[in-house]
């Protein structure tokens, strides 16, 4: 564990990190949200209009509500029933939004920066993880349309000992909460009836990844509603787990499939990290985003046979589109992808977000003979060009912004996911800067 996440003194010498853009899709495809840096953008697909977010807290402070978050957003998520939406990040705020009015109904203050969020299946609990590996719960009961008096504090329920939690998921039946961390671990914990008393019972650990775990997703079918867990990692694999027992069922080395790995530097010689996963509703397909691969890899997932295999590699190279985040609705067959970063160092523009959509994100359509995975043209995507105007902030993105963004995206993902290896010097320096060593006991 590097010291950055441990010692508050470390924060001061931490260089400002760039945050990859995130995307989330309403479960019934009513809206799509994109987060770039501290900016949260939502578009209502049903009504074909951009959403204005209202945060009473901000109004009270008489601040223009352009930036509801004050620092990079690290996690966004809709609840399973679509009623609530949660955003959280480096400003240590967890904002809970009602998706009918897009009012912020609660702001939870975290002690540390927030790295992941999840909502329980019935929407009654919001969980978030901080950079120290602690998972907190807030119960959403009694939240009214107005934010006043809704500002609860999170209760810690479980902890990964000082390892950043990269992903937090509830099992499809809501019985378990699954947390993944940078120390190769996936922990499956029983989510108790009253989580405010803590989540003490560990069901299993899913151990097998040899690098940080970056993302989790569930695949479930009608025949197997409890589902299986899939996880992506810095070891360039996607693994399938029986999360009840913790046993590893299958491993798919997706990095090999990306084929044309760039050979520009030694660092990239290792296989690229998996950055995000998105499964179809029937659990038959899993889309995989890779750290430096322009495009998407579709895995075929056989729940009965408990196997994963590469079905199709879809490259989006004409634009060097390297997705940083994926999302889909449970009812529509679209895979939403965003590529983007906050504050590009190398260019003048503040941030970049590019949204693309893959249609036919479902196994049956891919199985048909003449099926060609189709990345939709901008004018054809749900919501059309006005959705792009909102989510991207602009319709046209200059080529050079793109290429410098591609570089920044790589760096951002690397910074986010790979443990920093400090040189011996720097390590010593950091040690000296810490006051816990200055006065020893005994």
Partner 1 sequence: MMEREFDVNPTRSKSTGLPRKRFYRARAHSNPLSDSHFPVPIAPSQVDYPSHYPEIFSPLDRVDGLRKIEFADIGCGFGGLLISLATLFPETLMIGMELRDKVTEYVKERILALRTGNPGQYQNISVVRTNSMKYIPNYFEKGQLKKMFFLFPDPHFKEKNHRRRVISPHLLDEYAYALAVGGIIYTITDVEELGEWMKSCLESHPMFEALTVQELEDDPVVKLLSTATEEGQKVARNGGQTYQAVYRRISGPIH
Angle at CA of residue 268, ends 262 and 270, nearest 5°:
115
Looking at residues 5 to 44 of the shown chain, list those that interact with partner 1 (rule: CB under 8 A): 6
Of residues 46, 210, 256, 317, which one binds partner 1 by CB under 8 A?
210
Sign of the C-alpha dihedral, residues 417, 422, 426, 432? positive
Confirm or reject binding of residue 202 to partner 1 (CB under 8 A).
Answer: yes
Pairing of strands 31-36, 22-25: antiparallel
**Among the listed residues 85, 118, 27, 45, the one whose alpha carbon sits nearest the alpha carbon of residue 330:** 27
CA–CA distance, 73 with 61 (Å, rounded to integer): 21
Looking at residues 107 to 146 of the shown chain, list those that interact with partner 1 (rule: CB under 8 A): 132, 134
CA–CA distance, 214 with 234 (Å, rounded to integer): 7
Of residues 54, 207, 314, 376, which one binds partner 1 by CB under 8 A?
207
Residue 324 corresponds to which tokens in the numbers above?
């940083």
Strands (DSSP E) found in 123-236: 125-130, 134-139, 155-159, 165-170, 176-181, 185-190, 202-207, 213-219, 228-233
3-state helix, strand, coil in the chain (%, to 5): 15, 40, 45
Of residues 79, 82, 246, 283, which one binds partner 1 by CB under 8 A?
246
What contacts 309, CB < 8 A, 6 or more positions away? 252, 299, 300, 302
| Closest distance to partner 1 from the beta carbon of 252 (Å) | 17
Part of the chain binding partner 1 (CB under 8 A), chosen from 64-72, 207-215, 286-294, 380-388? 207-215
Confirm or reject binding of residue 201 to partner 1 (CB under 8 A).
Answer: yes
Looking at residues 407 to 426 of the shown chain, list those that interact with partner 1 (rule: CB under 8 A): 419, 422
Confirm or reject binding of residue 261 to partner 1 (CB under 8 A).
Answer: no
| Closest distance to partner 1 from the beta carbon of 39 (Å) | 33
Q: How many residues in the shown chain lie near partner 1 by CB under 8 A?
A: 43
| Closest distance to partner 1 from the beta carbon of 302 (Å) | 24
Looking at residues 174 to 193 of the shown chain, list those that interact with partner 1 (rule: CB under 8 A): 175, 183-185, 187, 189-190, 192-193
Confirm or reject binding of residue 378 to partner 1 (CB under 8 A).
Answer: no
Q: Which residues bind partner 1 (CB under 8 A)?
A: 1-3, 6, 132, 134, 156, 158-159, 161-163, 175, 183-185, 187, 189-190, 192-193, 197-202, 204-205, 207-210, 246, 419, 422, 427, 431, 436-437, 440-442
């Amino acid at each position: 564990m590097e010291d950055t996440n441990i010692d508050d003194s470390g924060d001061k010498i931490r260089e400002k990190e760039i945050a990859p853009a995130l995307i989330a899709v309403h479960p019934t495809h009513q809206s799509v949200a994109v987060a770039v840096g501290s900016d949260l953008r939502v578009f209502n697909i049903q009504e074909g209009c951009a959403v204005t977010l209202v945060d009473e807290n901000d109004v009270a402070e008489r601040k223009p509500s352009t930036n509801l978050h004050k620092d990079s957003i690290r996690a966004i998520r809709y609840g399973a029933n679509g009623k609530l939406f949660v955003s959280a990040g480096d400003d240590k705020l967890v904002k809970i939004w009602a998706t009918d009015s897009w009012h912020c109904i609660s702001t939870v203050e975290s002690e540390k920066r927030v790295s992941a969020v999840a909502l329980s299946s019935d929407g009654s609990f919001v969980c978030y993880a901080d950079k120290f590996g602690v998972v907190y719960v807030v119960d959403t009961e009694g939240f009214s349309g107005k934010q006043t008096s809704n500002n609860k504090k999170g209760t810690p329920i479980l902890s990964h000992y000082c390892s950043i939690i990269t992903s937090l998921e509830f099992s499809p039946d809501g019985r378990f909460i699954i947390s993944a961390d940078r120390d190769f671990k996936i922990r499956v914990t029983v989510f108790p009836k009253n989580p405010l008393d803590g989540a003490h019972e560990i069901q299993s650990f899913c151990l097998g990844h040899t690098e940080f775990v970056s993302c989790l997703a569930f695949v479930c079918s009608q025949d197997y509603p409890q589902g299986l867990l899939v996880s992506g990692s810095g070891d360039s694999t996607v693994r399938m787990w029986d999360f009840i027992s913790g046993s590893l069922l299958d491993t798919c080395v997706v990095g090999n499939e990306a084929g044309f790995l760039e050979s520009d530097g030694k660092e990239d010689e290792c296989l690229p990290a998996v950055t995000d996963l998105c499964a179809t509703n029937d659990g038959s397909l899993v889309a995989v985003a890779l750290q430096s691969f322009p495009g998407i890899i579709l895995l075929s997932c056989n729940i009965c046979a408990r196997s994963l295999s590469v079905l199709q590699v879809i490259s989006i190279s004409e634009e060097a589109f390297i997705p940083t985040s994926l999302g889909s609705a449970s009812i529509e067959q679209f895979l939403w992808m965003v590529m983007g970063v906050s504050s590009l160092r190398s260019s003048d523009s503040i941030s970049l977000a590019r949204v693309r959509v893959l249609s036919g994100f479902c196994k049956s359509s891919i199985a048909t003979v003449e099926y060609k995975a189709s990345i939709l043209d901008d004018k054809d995507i749900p919501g059309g060009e006005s959705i792009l105007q909102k989510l991207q902030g602009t319709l046209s993105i200059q080529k050079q912004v793109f290429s410098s963004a591609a570089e920044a995206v790589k760096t951002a993902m690397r910074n986010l996911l790979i443990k920093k290896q400090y040189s011996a010097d720097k390590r010593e320096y950091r040690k000296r800067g810490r006051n816990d060593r200055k006065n020893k006991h005994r």
